[in-house]
Amino acid sequence: MKLSLEQLSARMRQGEDIPLSQTAQVVLALSLPSILQQMVVTAMEYIDAAMVGHIGAEATAAIGIVSSSTWLLHGVLVGLYTAFSIQIAQYLGADRQEDARGVLRQSMLFNLILGLGAAAFGIGISRFLPGWLGADPSLQANASAYFAIWSAALPFTMAMGMYTAQLRATGDALTPGLISVLVCVLDIVFNFFLINPSRTLVLFGRTVTVWGAGLGVPGAALGTALSDVIGGLLALAILLLRDGPLCIRRPGSWKITRSCLMNLWRVGAPLAAERAALSSAQVVLVRIVSGLGTVAIAANSLGVSAEGLCYMAGYGIQDAAIALIGQAVGANRRDMAKRFAWLCTLMGMGIMALSGAGLWLFAPALMGIFTADAAVIALGARVLRIEAFAEPMFGASIVASGAMQGAGDSTACFVLNLVSMWGIRLTLASLLAPRFGLVGVWGAMCCELCIRGLLFLVRLARGKWLEKGALS
Alpha-carbon Rg for the chain, nearest whole angstrom, is: 22
pLDDT of residue 4 exceeding 80: no
Confidence at 471, pLDDT banded by 50, 70, 90:
low
Cα torsion through 354, 358, 363, 369, rounded to 10: -120
pLDDT of residue 218 exceeding 60: yes
d(CA 283, CA 277): 10
The structural domains of the chain, with segments of one domain joined by +, span: 50-256, 267-472
In one letter, which amino acid is 156? Answer: F
- The 10s digit of each residue's pLDDT in 407-454 is 888 888 889 999 999 999 999 999 999 999 999 999 999 999 999 999
Strand, coil or helix: 437: coil
pLDDT of residue 373 exceeding 80: no
Query: Average pLDDT, stretch 389-417?
Result: 90
Cβ atoms of 430 and 375 closer than 8 Å: no
Strand, coil or helix: 204: coil
pLDDT of residue 167 exceeding 90: no
Q: What are phi and psi of 140, to 5 degrees?
A: -65, -40
Angle at 68 between CA 146 and CA 399, to 5 degrees: 125
Q: Which of 214, 309, 207, 268 is nearest to 413 (CA)?
A: 268
pLDDT of residue 305 exceeding 90: no
- The 10s digit of each residue's pLDDT in 117-142 is 999 999 999 998 888 877 778 878 88
Query: Average pLDDT, stretch 247-263?
Result: 82
- The 10s digit of each residue's pLDDT in 315-366 is 888 888 888 888 888 888 888 889 889 999 999 999 999 999 999 999 898 8
Concatenated DSSP letters for 400-418? HHHHHHHTT-HHHHHHHHH
